[in-house]
Amino acid sequence: TQNQVVMGIPTGATQRVNLVIGSGAGSLGRGQTIAVTKSGPPISAAPCPAGLIKVADIVSNNILWTFEDLSMLYGDGTGVVCLDPAAPTEPPSAEIEGTWLGGTGRYEDVVGGDFSIRFTFFEVISPETQFNAETGIVTGTVVWD
């Protein structure tokens, strides 16, 4: 957790910064991902799915995919962290919507597109280090120039 600042002046608000490291395979091929996610208080108008309660806003999710051929695809998004009041002891879910910003190698001509990330499984592995295991699905489109 870190204090948020505006022009070097602390605002009193805090935000959580998370590092995500993962791997996956899909229609674009096999690859590794690294993302830096910043979350803060639930103050945006972004909603949770029906029946869930928003507990945080994801204010930034910078993501980079590196594929087996070393091509890269990168983007940024925002989202919500939601809790199911019917299952208060279950970990919250996260949903992120974003835009592809560019890439290298076979993605060097990417000029946009969108992505959605839905985490479908979450388990705390080490509460002392805040190390968690998650699985999810990334869907979307890639737009080339």
Which one, of 32, 23, 106, 100, lies nearest residue 61 by Cα?
Answer: 100
* CA–CA distances in Å: residue 30 to residues 25, 82, 110, 137: 4, 29, 18, 14
Question: Can you tell me the distance from the alpha carbon of 3 to that of 6, in angstroms, rounded to the nearest whole number?
Answer: 10
List residues bridging with 99 in a β-sheet: 76, 114
From the CB of residue 122, how many other CB atoms can be counted at a distance below 10 Å?
15
Residue 62: is its pLDDT beyond 80?
Answer: yes
Average pLDDT, the chain: 88
List residues bridging with 137 in a β-sheet: 118
Question: What's this model's pTM, rounded to 2 decimal places?
Answer: 0.83
How much of the chain, in percent, has pLDDT values that exceed 90? 66
